[in-house]
Amino acid sequence: MDKEIKPVTTLLIILLFVAPIAVRYWAGGEHALAKVGVYFLQEDARGQLSLQADRLLVSMADHGAHEEVFDFTPFMNTPGTADIMGNIAYFANNDVLLRLGSADYGPDSYLSLASSPNADAEALRRRLSDTSSSPAPLLRCDLKSKRCQNFRSIQAPWRYRVYIDTTNDNVYLTEGTTHKVRAFSDTGQALGSIEQGILFPKRIRPYKDGLYLVDTNHRSLHFLNKASHFSDTKHQLKFERDTEDNRRWLLDTVYFDTQWWLILAGDGMRNTALYRANEDGKILSKIPLSPAAEPFDLLVYQGHLLVSDLRSGAVYQLNQHGELINTIHSPAIANYFAELAASRAYYQNIIHLCHLALGLLVICGIASAAIIARRHRQANPKVRYDPSALPAYLNPRQALYQPSANPESVYSLKETAMSNFLISNIEIIPGKKVTQHLGLVMGSTVRAKHAGKDFMAGLKNIFGGELGGYTELLSEARTEATERMTEQAKAIGGNAVINVRYSTSSITAGASEILAYGTAVFLEDK
């Protein structure tokens, strides 16, 4: 007799399977976050090279011999959020313009707001408590004193690029999530905007007497005027795509030595590479870098082209022919990349352990199911169908009348004699007479699919042969349905069921019902 599984046991089994799945997805999310999001190159107002990896800003002097590090992580309430997803730009006095969406500007914070008659500190704190994906105020900060002022009421989304014209400190802001470009004066006064015709704008840079804007999806440059006529587009330049490696998204472009140097990305903004193109947008060559390099940002600095590598943290210095001259390394940047790599490895190991645990649970589940099924068969022995062991009136090969096309629907007397109960798929049983018809009786069972037997059946479909697993499942299901039918017949006073039939129907994609039905009768000897 089948034992009923307790709800607590069922809940524990479910939790046992759900736990590694939940941990795996948590570790997967942490693994995805444990990588460098942005790696920008910038020249500050003093002419020094600045490297920005996420919230880490490194100012390098004397060709990298000395570096000054500014870590914006202590400014954050929630270090796990990607608040800085744009470049940090410099004003003429070397102040920086940045966005800190989750910063704490309380009296005890590491970064405090400068007192200003136009600043509403409480309202500003409320705005800064928004999530990182919401627009947040831009701040003009003095990194030496660690004091900032709210840059008027201007807010930026979490994906943006900034260029500051140090001749007049005008600010040009591209918004990658809203597809807009805006211009402001050094006091935050709006100068103009572009709100149509651009998809996912990236870098905005100076070019001759104007600007150019990188349009990612259109793989083109928009050449713009400055200041009051900022929204007027002079012309556009469209670049070819790399059809061989399927790179079609334009991430960044600089003009260096009469040629355009650009970074193209593949699907998902991955698999980036550096190219050189002429002034008509025709790609001339692909520039070889490190085999595993992932170029992210470009900068023309002191007569050379600098390329940041988002994978290794290195900065490649190239000449006008695209030849590697030097590789710049920052110890602070290298440590930051190493910490993230160690964190990724940690979460990757957790993911592997979760996969291993799930595999072991599946194996244990299959083994347990097999053991339970074997014990069930041993506790409920059944005599399998054997035509030679049946009397003539129950043997389909010798019977004069056999209405059933399924010989397995007949059960032997030996199987049912233990309960003194007869089952037959014909109406007349020799040596017996029906003294009373008691009515229709039936029994049913619903069986789910078995993953292991499905797998073996798939192999059988390739090589051929009997599907023994399905045969066993159907045999057990019919036996169970028959037992329930006989129990119903006994309950109404019968000692036999005649005209027995079997029916199988699908309930859902993974479950089927097996139904046994017949006429309950009371038999006596003739």
CATH assignment of the domain containing 466: 3.30.110.70
Q: Tell me if 21 is assigned to some domain.
A: yes
Please give the residue that has the higher pLDDT: either 282 or 511: 282
Both tokens of 164, joined, read: 């500051």
Complete DSSP assignment for 72-133: -GGGBS-TTS----S--EE-TTS-EEEE-TTB--STTSSSEEPP-TT--HHHHHHHHTS-TT
Please give the residue that has the higher pLDDT: either 101 or 166: 166
Between CA 100 and CA 132 the distance in angstroms is 8
Q: Tell me if 144 is assigned to some domain.
A: yes
Both tokens of 493, joined, read: 């006073």
Note the pTM of the prediction, 2 decimals: 0.63
Give the mean pLDDT of 305-312.
93
Which of 342, 359, 381 is the endpoint of a domain? 381
Q: Tell me if 53 is assigned to some domain.
A: yes
Q: What is the model's pLDDT at position 294?
A: 92
% the chain with pLDDT above 90: 28
Q: Mark whether 352 and 427 lie in a shared domain.
A: no
Q: Tell me if 518 is assigned to some domain.
A: yes
Q: Tell me if 468 is assigned to some domain.
A: yes
Beta bridge partners of 60: 49, 67
Q: Mark whether 430 and 361 lie in a shared domain.
A: no
Is it the case that residue 90 has pLDDT exceeding 70? yes
SS in 3 state form for 47-68? CCEEEEECCEEEEEECCCCEEE
Of the candidates 512, 514, 505, the one whose C-alpha atom is nearest the C-alpha of residue 478 is: 514
Q: Mark whether 373 and 458 lie in a shared domain.
A: no
Q: Tell me if 472 is assigned to some domain.
A: yes
Q: Mark whether 362 and 430 lie in a shared domain.
A: no
Q: Mark whether 408 and 469 lie in a shared domain.
A: yes
Give the mean pLDDT of 190-218.
85
Which of 341, 356, 381 is the endpoint of a domain? 381
Of the candidates 220, 335, 331, 208, the one whose C-alpha atom is nearest the C-alpha of residue 281 is: 220
Q: What is the pLDDT of residues 439-492, one digit of tens each?
A: 999 999 988 776 666 666 666 666 666 777 778 888 888 889 999 999 999 999
Domain count, the chain: 3
Q: Mark whether 96 and 152 lie in a shared domain.
A: yes
Give the mean pLDDT of 281-286.
92
Q: What is the pLDDT of residues 422-439, one digit of tens each?
A: 888 888 888 888 889 999
Both tokens of 383, joined, read: 């005599």
**pLDDT classification of 380: cutoffs 50, 70, 90:** low
Q: Read off φ and ψ for residue 199, nearest 5 degrees.
A: -120, 120
Q: What is the pLDDT of residues 31-79, one digit of tens each?
A: 777 777 788 999 998 899 999 988 888 998 776 668 899 887 665 544 4
Q: Tell me if 511 is assigned to some domain.
A: yes
Between CA 470 and CA 482 the distance in angstroms is 18
Between CA 265 and CA 174 the distance in angstroms is 19
Which of 124, 158, 192 is the endpoint of a domain? 158
**pLDDT classification of 11: cutoffs 50, 70, 90:** confident
Q: Mark whether 375 and 386 lie in a shared domain.
A: no
Q: Mark whether 351 and 396 lie in a shared domain.
A: no
Task: Give the structural domain span for 504.
Answer: 382-525
Q: What is the pLDDT of residues 400-415, one digit of tens each?
A: 333 444 444 444 443 4
Q: Mark whether 28 and 99 lie in a shared domain.
A: no
If DSSP codes are grouped into helix, strand and coil, which group holds residue 270? coil
Q: Tell me if 265 is assigned to some domain.
A: no
Q: What is the model's pLDDT at position 326?
A: 93
Q: Mark whether 515 and 428 lie in a shared domain.
A: yes
Q: What is the model's pLDDT at position 308?
A: 94
Between CA 343 and CA 408 the distance in angstroms is 62
Q: Mark whether 421 and 478 lie in a shared domain.
A: yes
Q: Mark whether 98 and 4 lie in a shared domain.
A: no
